Amino acid sequence: MLLVKFIDEAKIEVIAGNGGNGAVSFRREKYVPRGGPDGGDGGRGGSIHAIADRNINTLIDYRYARIHRAKSGEGGRGADQYGRGAEDIVLRMPVGTVITDIETGETIADLAVDGQSAELAKGGQGGLGNLHFKSSTNRAPRQSTPGEEGEHRFLRLELKVLADVGLLGMPNAGKSTLIRAISAARPKVADYPFTTLAPNLGVVRVDENRSFVVADVPGLIEGAAEGAGLGHQFLRHLQRTRLLLHVVDLAPLDGDADPVAGARAIVRELERYDPALYEKPRWLVLNKADLIDPAERDARVAAFVKSYRWKGPVFTVAAISGEGCRELVYAIQRWLEAHPADAPVAEP
């Protein structure tokens, strides 16, 4: 099996082609006593475009091919011959790529739809030949204009995966197991932290005509907003989601671990990283209920919710066995249908 390393950030340099220079030329033919100017225009320089391609899912190619240069247009020639324009360059990128000008901070494009294109660097226009400068008072013009320079930019590429629902939580909270339980995705799972090293996308099929996409990103730890752990590298992938599921390990193997303190730490890191992400609708999913005695389960859930002071939706699941997952999936689908992607989203 071929494994492609997941790369979600890259920096590239794009250099559009210069326009060709206009020509200064005069028609000189036998038996044509008054030839006149016939210098043609220069050709247009090649531009550089980006296009979203759903068949690409990583920016790894742009880690190794950093400079992209288009050819310049040909210069004009005599006999009214215009220079040939250079071909444009098309860079194919994953759907969800955000392109930013490093020097100005301007967002050049947000390729959120398959097939969407954007111009990254515009080629220079060709110069004018002396053919354009003749007039009744200037029968033999000797001026022309040079071709324009093409644009030159340094760009940052950031990939933000497109998903309806994002899974949020500490390492080993069971996010990967949950995405395996509700979708066809098969991320690696194990009983140690930091199993997930790259975002995983899974399509959750509710029925024949209804489905949604869920994203599982590496777990967060306290200090993630400053770069601690792995999760901070992938928080951007939650920015496009419409609903966040905060997955909490209700029965940690470490008896001294405090699930409430861990949940609060995650929310603090979320707010510090991006206040807009913190404001997204968020549900609480208490996982690993199968490790708790059924007689104590309701009391344990109630105690957690009270201590955490949570007033939003709460779901208790056992992702390893699938218990409670069906109810969660149907609740998510109903919420997504009630809150279309283009409608303003309110806290549930």
Query: Across the chain, what does the average pLDDT equal?
Result: 82
Which one of 136-145, 213-222, 267-276, 310-319 scores highest in mean pLDDT? 310-319
Cα-flanking dihedrals φ and ψ of residue 170, to 5°? -70, 160
User: 62 and 95 share a domain?
Assistant: yes
User: 71 and 210 share a domain?
Assistant: no
CB 316 within 8 A of CB 301: yes
Select from 132, 159, 186 the last residue of a domain.
Answer: 159
Q: Is the pLDDT of residue 290 over 90?
A: no
For the chain, how long is the longest CA-to-CA vector?
Answer: 110
User: 127 and 200 share a domain?
Assistant: no
pLDDT of residue 176: 82
User: 191 and 257 share a domain?
Assistant: yes
Q: How far apart are CA 348 and CA 114, in angstroms?
A: 30
- In-domain check, residue 188: yes
Residue 27 exposure: Cα atoms within 13 Å on the Cβ side: 17
CATH number for the domain that contains residue 275: 3.40.50.300
pLDDT of residue 117: 93
User: 74 and 172 share a domain?
Assistant: no
CATH number for the domain that contains residue 75: 2.70.210.12
User: 289 and 149 share a domain?
Assistant: no
What is the number of domains present in the chain?
2
Domain extent, residue 118, equals: 9-159
Select from 159, 183, 211 the last residue of a domain.
Answer: 159
Q: Confidence class of residue 184 from pLDDT cuts 50, 70 and 90?
A: low
Q: Is the pLDDT of residue 347 over 50?
A: no
Q: Is the pLDDT of residue 253 over 90?
A: no
Q: How far apart are CA 202 and CA 189, in angstroms?
A: 15
Tell me which residue of 88, 42, 61, 67 sits closest to 152, measured CA to CA.
Answer: 67
User: 134 and 208 share a domain?
Assistant: no
Q: Which of 77-86, 133-142, 145-154 has the lowest mean pLDDT?
A: 133-142
pLDDT, tens only, 80-138: 888 899 999 999 998 888 999 999 999 999 888 889 999 999 999 999 988 888 877 78
- In-domain check, residue 345: no
- In-domain check, residue 182: yes
pLDDT, tens only, 219-238: 555 544 444 444 456 677 78
Q: Which of 103-107, 153-157, 218-222, 331-335 has the lowest mean pLDDT?
A: 218-222
Query: Tokens in use for 155?
Result: 């760009």
Once rounded to an integer, what is the mean pLDDT over residues 295-321?
Answer: 91
- In-domain check, residue 347: no
Q: Confidence class of residue 342 from pLDDT cuts 50, 70 and 90?
A: low
Helices (H), 94-212: 175-182
Select from 110, 132, 159 the last residue of a domain.
Answer: 159
pLDDT, tens only, 39-62: 889 999 999 999 999 888 788 889
Query: Tokens in use for 103?
Result: 């020097």
- In-domain check, residue 71: yes
